[in-house]
Amino acid sequence: MNSTIGLSDILLISPMIALFLASLIPITAKVLRGNREQHPVVTLSQALIGIVIAIGLLIVFGGAGKTAFNNGLIFDGVTQWMGVIALAAAGAAMIMMYENPSTTGKQFSELIFLAMSSAIGMLILVSAVDLLMVFIGLETMSLALYLMIAMSHEEKLSKEAALKYFVLGSFASAVFLYGVAFIFGSTGGTNILAFMENAAELVQSSRLFLFGITFVILGFCFKVSIAPFHAWTPDVYQGAPTPHTAFMATAVKTVSFAAFLRVIATKSLIGSDHLFDILQWLAVITMIVGNTAAIIQNNLKRMIAYSSVAHSGYLLIGIITAGVSDNGAFGASGVIFYLLSYSLMTLGAFAVASMLERSENHIVNIEDLAGFARQRPMLALCLTVFLLSLAGIPPTMGFFGKFYLFNAAIGEGLLWLAIWGMISSVIGVYYYLRPIVVMYMKEGNAEVAGHSLNATTVTAVVMALAIVVMGFVSGPIFSAVEKSLF
Amino acid sequence: MILSSIVFLPLLFALIIAVWPKASTIRHLALGFSVIEFLLSLSIFKQFDPSSSGLQMVEKFMWIERFGIQYFMGIDGISLWLVLLTTFLTPIIILGSWTAITERVKGFHVALFILQTAMLGTFLAMDAIFFYVFWELSLVPMYFMVGIWGGARRLYATVKFFIYTMAGSVLMLVAIIYMMYLTQEATGHMSASLLDFYKLKIPFVGGTFFSLQTLLFFAFALAFAVKVPVFPLHTWLPDAHVEAPTPGSVILAGVMLKMGTYGFMRWVIPLFPEAAEYWAWLFMLIGVVGIIYGALVAMVQPDVKKLVAYSSVSHMGYILLGLFAFNAYGMAGGLYQMLNHGISTGALFILIGMIYERTHSREISKYGGLAGVLPIFTIFFFIITLSSIAVPLTNGFVGEFFILLGTYKAQPVFAYFAVSGVVLGAVYMLWMFKRVFFGEKGELVKDEHHPLHDLSAREIAVLVPMVIMVFWMGLFPNHFLNYSKASIDYLVNNRSNYNLTIVNPGETPVQHAQGGN
């Protein structure tokens, strides 16, 4: 085995190196200043500069399917798009962390260090093409995240959330690793590209391999909260500080789906009808469970958490489409575009939720939004855009995301999945309308928190504009995504 | 560029109003804008060729190339009058709501203009996805209109309206995507253009529900049937109408319901001719049931607005009946009745809004003897009532007569039952008229502390154009139908291989050039 590390390897992983170096700056500065926090603006800008550089490096050096570290990492279109989406989402979430009462303050440097470390894990995950690399990425990302949630200033729910997430997350990682072991045992390797070449035959001929790949898929299903493995999602999303929730719901979900896509999109589903059936049912159950459970929620964050479960179901349709298709690029680019739109709208919705929190223990219920449209017409309009986009109302980006996803599914003959998706998105409309009803049509005096939240406001407004504008130019974006794959 | 300017000018107006600094002049500004929009829409006539059945003033650009989705607008005799109805009603609505909307005036007018863009786009879009975008977009401003400025149960009504119509139309989106793949199979490249959809030959097997054309037919028909709304799917309408503010009711009854019937004419019937023919009995049946059911339920309503709402169900049943008669009388009558219903029911809602502003009640039993107190109001109400019950010389007569004639030619049995709707319509409208305007003075009418004032000059200005239209359309139907005749005849005669040609403005279409020589 040739294991020399060349310059090209270093260049390819330069985004991760940049992130790592940038993550060290704030925490080193804190140490050098005798454990005194530098101004949070400085910390934040150091992190954001690091993210921007990483995005730049990823775009410049990545792409074209180059592999690094003995075929352990691959840098193709999926890596680039998913990596950029995840990093940008992580950056936006950090802006929210800077201003949210439960995350800003005396341990901000440590928090940013952890968030950046988690981002490194994300980059590993989107580029990993070896199941062990996937595991390393998953764990790097998740371990930092467990800590981030636990160190919230909020007293009770966030600790519960961290513990829950840690226990269940570790369990899922173990399941994943167990599956990897079986795959290694039956194929003699863990490189996705290598064993997926003949996965279609292997799932039929080798029980062990089928067992292994099922466990790997289950591990992913947990991470991207596919029902019935979603039970942690509402509790953790609700308990975690809002910026962290945004971080998990967008960046973490994007990269988990990227790795999921890599495993599935290599035609493993063609061989096994059972696996294919099971995934279809999981998608249907996820959409129904997510959407119906969201209806009865009163807590805004919990509602968005269930909505995020439902969106995982839609995305799973895209993953399945990519898995059964001869040309996976269409389905895969549907997934990528959907993740882009989903990340924008979910980040925006959480940004507005974050602004409503007056203190670290403040719980925002949907009814608390009453009168928000009168007090803050701009922010109410932004939240309306996010919710309508999540509901898939044209001409927002969310509609086109669904359109591309379901279009690909229908093109592959998965008509009934698309119909399920459409029906459950109608159920979704009901709860997405509720906050709008409360904001605009009920009297009250909802107000954003007293302290200045300018950066978060800007983030929300930018997201809303992006959703509207990118709805109109979604065609070229989608084509660009599709061209960059394969 | 005229169609694009007509569709998107209201959006620009909405933006201007949104940033307009002086709250006191917003109404004047909006009124001026809507009049400009109406005049602009009149300029269609300068270029419109009534002798052509083709698609005129076409604007066509590629929008999303990957899926063959186009920015594609065009107008023909079917959409022409619906566009004008929309632009005609908007200034009337703004003037009519001058004193009715007192809160969040700016937001109201922004929503109104966005809604106008969405409705006009629905009538003019010739690309399935482009159409769908406008179709769904129209829900959002209407949702806010009912939800913010509506009555006591407005939240229930507005959410019901939104979910109902949205639920109806998602299967249409699936069907549209499926048809895009059919065009790919047929021509090699994907397209969402309606003209390419028309060229598809979709296999049809009678006698089973699970044939491709039947399934697609029902996916589309469901979306439009909910919007119309036809009999079993109508329950959102009375709620939305009663809770909506006056201008909301006028738009809803005047234009939005027509989006459904227009959809049948533009999409369902020409796209799925065999299925439409096979299932015509079903739609004629629910049309007739709707006529009779709507009339019977309207008769017993204690609330005058609810009465008019149910009368809409009855009137829309006529339109459906006419369209599915598949002959020139029925189609022309159906199209004409869409305009009539927009004018007369719109005017009725405005009148009800005027009296509601004075008394804050719509209970029929609290009125009585209004004729002696409000003579001018009574005259207007009487004229519109006559139009609504289709008395000869009014517009309603022409439409209903054509529809019944067409139905009789196609399916006499349905005509026998539909005629009873004419009588029932007279019963519920005239009985309501008697209870409100004649007899003992009701408690609201004789209330000494709140004397009622007759119509102001503004209110008369709102109603006069409507009354003019009632008689104009009643006396000279050819002034209107001549513009639609070519398109309707073409649709009736070429239903099974319907295919719109694009006629460029200024260019004489080929078949007519030959005729002229």
Closest residue to B64, CB basis, from A425, A430, A475? A475
Instruction: List CB contacts of B129: < 8 A, sequence separation 6 or more.
Output: A403, B64, B67, B69, B176, B192
Q: Which chain A residues have any C-beta within 8 angstroms of a chain B C-beta? A: 388, 393-395, 399, 403, 406-407, 410-411, 415, 418-419, 422-423, 425-426, 429-430, 433, 437, 440-442, 474-475, 478-479, 482
**Mean pLDDT computed over B40-51:** 87
Q: Are B64 and A478 a contacting pair at CB < 8 A?
A: yes
DSSP secondary structure, A26-87, as one string: HHHHHHHTTSPPPPHHHHHHHHHHHHHHHHHHHHHH--TTEEETTTTEEESHHHHHHHHHHH
Residue A463 resides in a domain: yes
**Listed residue (A255, A267, A318) closest to A128, CA to CA:** A255
With contacts defined as CB-CB under 8 Å, which chain B residues touch A474? 64
What is the predicted pLDDT for the residue at A154? Answer: 78
At which residue do the structure tokens 């009745």 appear? B337
Q: Provide the shortest C-alpha distance from residue B456 to chain A (in Å).
A: 31
Closest residue to B63, CB basis, from A440, A441, A475? A475
Residue B300 resides in a domain: yes
Percent of chain B with pLDDT over 70: 97
- Chain B residue with minimum CA distance to A472: B63
**Mean pLDDT computed over A153-178:** 89
Closest residue to B140, CB basis, from A393, A425, A430? A393
What is the predicted pLDDT for the residue at B510? Answer: 46
Range of the domain at B312: 285-495
Residue A1 resides in a domain: no
Dihedral over Cα of B149, B154, B157, B163: its sign: positive
With contacts defined as CB-CB under 8 Å, which chain B residues touch A388? 140
Which residue in B61, B64, B138 has the most chain A C-beta atoms within 10 A of its own C-beta, making it the best mutation to test that interface? B64
**Residue type at B513 in one-letter notation:** A
Phi first, then psi: what are they for A328, rounded to 5°?
A: -65, -10
Residues forming a β-bridge with A299: A365
Phi first, then psi: what are they for A187, rounded to 5°?
A: -115, -15
Element spanning B284, H or E: helix B280-299
Burial B25-60 (b: 16+ CB within 10 A, else e): ebbebbbebbeebbeebeebeeebbbebbbbbbbbb
What SS3 state is found at B189? coil
What is the predicted pLDDT for the residue at A269? Answer: 62
Query: Residue A395, preceding bond cis, omega within 30 degrees?
Result: yes
Residue B278 resides in a domain: no
Q: Are B140 and A419 a contacting pair at CB < 8 A?
A: no
Q: Provide the shortest C-alpha distance from residue A293 to chain B (in Å).
A: 17
With contacts defined as CB-CB under 8 Å, which chain B residues touch A393? 136-137, 139-140
Instruction: List CB contacts of B469: < 8 A, sequence separation 6 or more.
Output: B88, B343, B395
Q: Find the angle CA(B64)-CA(B143)-CA(B293) to the nearest 5 degrees.
A: 110
Q: Which chain B residues have any C-beta within 8 angstroms of a chain A C-beta? A: 63-67, 69, 129, 132-133, 136-137, 139-140, 143-144, 147-148, 154-155, 158-159, 162-163, 166-167, 170-171, 173-174, 177-178, 180-181
Token pair in block for residue A144: 């930092």
What is the distance between the alpha carbons of residues B471 and B347, in angstroms, rounded to a whole number?
13
Sort A34 into a burial class: Cβ within 10 Å, 0-12 / 13-18 / 19+: exposed
What is the distance between the alpha carbons of residues B290 and B232, in angstroms, rounded to a whole number?
8
Residue A212 resides in a domain: yes
What is the predicted pLDDT for the residue at A266? Answer: 66
Token pair in block for residue A232: 């942690």
Q: Are A430 and B159 a contacting pair at CB < 8 A?
A: yes
Dihedral over Cα of B41, B45, B49, B53: its sign: positive
Of A31-40, A394-403, B245-254, B494-503, where does mean pLDDT reach its minimum?
A: B494-503
Of A195-209, A285-299, B160-174, where does mean pLDDT reach its minimum?
A: A195-209
Q: Are B66 and A475 a contacting pair at CB < 8 A?
A: yes
DSSP secondary structure, A305-367, as one string: HHHHHHHHHHHHHHHHHHHH-SSHHHHHHHHHHHHHHHHHHHHHHHHHHHHH--STT---BGG
> What's the pLDDT band for B218 if we cut at 50, 70, 90?
very high
pLDDT tens track for B338-351:
999 999 999 999 99
With contacts defined as CB-CB under 8 Å, which chain A residues touch B170? 422-423, 425-426
With contacts defined as CB-CB under 8 Å, which chain A residues touch B166? 426, 429
User: What is the bridge-based pairing of β-strands B69-75 and B55-64?
Assistant: antiparallel
At which residue do the structure tokens 């599915």 appear? B324
> How far is CA A122 from its chain centroid?
10
At which residue do the structure tokens 């899922």 appear? A172
> What's the pLDDT band for B505 if we cut at 50, 70, 90?
low
Closest residue to A474, CB basis, from B64, B147, B163? B64
Dihedral over Cα of B13, B14, B15, B17: its sign: positive
Q: Are A423 and B170 a contacting pair at CB < 8 A?
A: yes
What is the distance between the alpha carbons of residues A318 and B412, in angstroms, rounded to a whole number?
51
pLDDT at residue B516 is higher than 70: no
Q: State the average pLDDT for chain A.
A: 88
Closest residue to B181, CB basis, from A399, A410, A433? A410
- Chain B residue with minimum CA distance to A479: B66
Token pair in block for residue A460: 């929300």
pLDDT tens track for A166-195:
999 999 999 999 999 998 988 888 888 877
**Listed residue (A408, A430, A428) closest to A418, CA to CA:** A408
> What's the pLDDT band for A268 if we cut at 50, 70, 90?
low
Q: Provide the shortest C-alpha distance from residue A280 to chain B (in Å).
A: 18
pLDDT tens track for B414-457:
999 988 888 898 899 999 998 888 888 877 777 777 778 888 88
Closest residue to A433, CB basis, from B69, B159, B181? B159
Q: Are A415 and B174 a contacting pair at CB < 8 A?
A: yes
Query: Are the beta carbons of B136 and B169 closer than 8 angstroms?
Result: yes
> What's the pLDDT band for A448 if we cut at 50, 70, 90?
confident
With contacts defined as CB-CB under 8 Å, which chain B residues touch A292? none
**Mean pLDDT computed over A438-460:** 80
What is the distance between the alpha carbons of residues B77 and B56, in angstroms, rounded to a whole number?
9
Residue A37 resides in a domain: yes
With contacts defined as CB-CB under 8 Å, which chain B residues touch A482? 66
pLDDT at residue B514 is higher than 80: no
Instruction: List CB contacts of B138: < 8 A, sequence separation 6 or more.
Output: B115, B118, B119, B122, B256, B259
User: CA torsion, points B282, B286, B292, B297, in degrees to nearest 10?
Assistant: 160
With contacts defined as CB-CB under 8 Å, which chain A residues touch B167? 426
End-to-end CA distance of chain A: give it in Å, rounded: 27
Instruction: List CB contacts of A22: < 8 A, sequence separation 6 or more.
Output: A46, A47, A49, A50, A51, A53, A54, A116
Range of the domain at A236: 7-484
- Chain A residue with minimum CA distance to B165: A426
Q: State the average pLDDT for chain B.
A: 88
With contacts defined as CB-CB under 8 Å, which chain B residues touch A429? 162-163, 166
With contacts defined as CB-CB under 8 Å, which chain A residues touch B155? 437, 441-442
A252 DSSP 8-state letter:
I
B508 DSSP 8-state letter:
P
> What's the pLDDT band for A4 if we cut at 50, 70, 90?
confident
What is the predicted pLDDT for the residue at A270? Answer: 66
What is the distance between the alpha carbons of residues B359 and B447, in angstroms, rounded to a whole number?
10
Q: Are B178 and A394 a contacting pair at CB < 8 A?
A: no
pLDDT tens track for B353-388:
988 888 888 888 888 888 888 889 999 999 999 999
Element spanning B514, H or E: helix B510-516
pTM for this prediction: 0.92
With contacts defined as CB-CB under 8 Å, which chain A residues touch B158? 437, 441
Residue B512 resides in a domain: no
Residue B485 resides in a domain: yes
**Mean pLDDT computed over A330-359:** 90
Token pair in block for residue B24: 């006191």
End-to-end CA distance of chain B: give it in Å, rounded: 31
Q: Provide the shortest C-alpha distance from residue B71 to chain A (in Å).
A: 11
**Mean pLDDT computed over B83-92:** 92
pLDDT at residue A327 is higher than 50: yes
Closest residue to B174, CB basis, from A411, A418, A478? A418
Residue B455 resides in a domain: yes
> What's the pLDDT band for A86 if we cut at 50, 70, 90?
very high
Which residue in B17, B114, B174, B218 has the most chain A C-beta atoms within 10 A of its own C-beta, making it the best mutation to test that interface? B174
Q: Provide the shortest C-alpha distance from residue B165 to chain A (in Å).
A: 10
Element spanning B78, H or E: helix B77-96
pLDDT at residue B275 is higher than 80: yes
**Listed residue (B31, B29, B37, B30) closest to B9, CA to CA:** B37
pLDDT tens track for A108-132:
899 999 999 999 999 999 999 899 9
pLDDT at residue B76 is higher than 60: yes
B303 DSSP 8-state letter:
B
Size of interface A-B (CB pairs under 8 A): 77
Domain count, chain A: 1
Q: Provide the shortest C-alpha distance from residue A333 to chain B (in Å).
A: 12
pLDDT at residue A345 is higher than 60: yes
Sort A170 into a burial class: Cβ within 10 Å, 0-12 / 13-18 / 19+: middle
Q: Are B136 and A394 a contacting pair at CB < 8 A?
A: yes
**Mean pLDDT computed over A193-202:** 77
Sort A326 into a burial class: Cβ within 10 Å, 0-12 / 13-18 / 19+: exposed
Residue predicted with more confidence, A328 or B5: B5
- Chain A residue with minimum CA distance to B63: A475
What is the distance between the alpha carbons of residues A21 and A10, in angstroms, rounded to a whole number?
14
Domain count, chain B: 1
Query: From the DSSP assignment, how many helices (H) and strands (E) are in chain B?
Result: 25, 3
Token pair in block for residue A35: 């454990």
Taking residue A193's Cβ as centre, other Cβ atoms within 10 Å add up to 14
**Residue type at B220 in one-letter notation:** F
**Residue type at B189 in one-letter notation:** H
**Listed residue (A104, A385, A151, A386) closest to A249, CA to CA:** A386
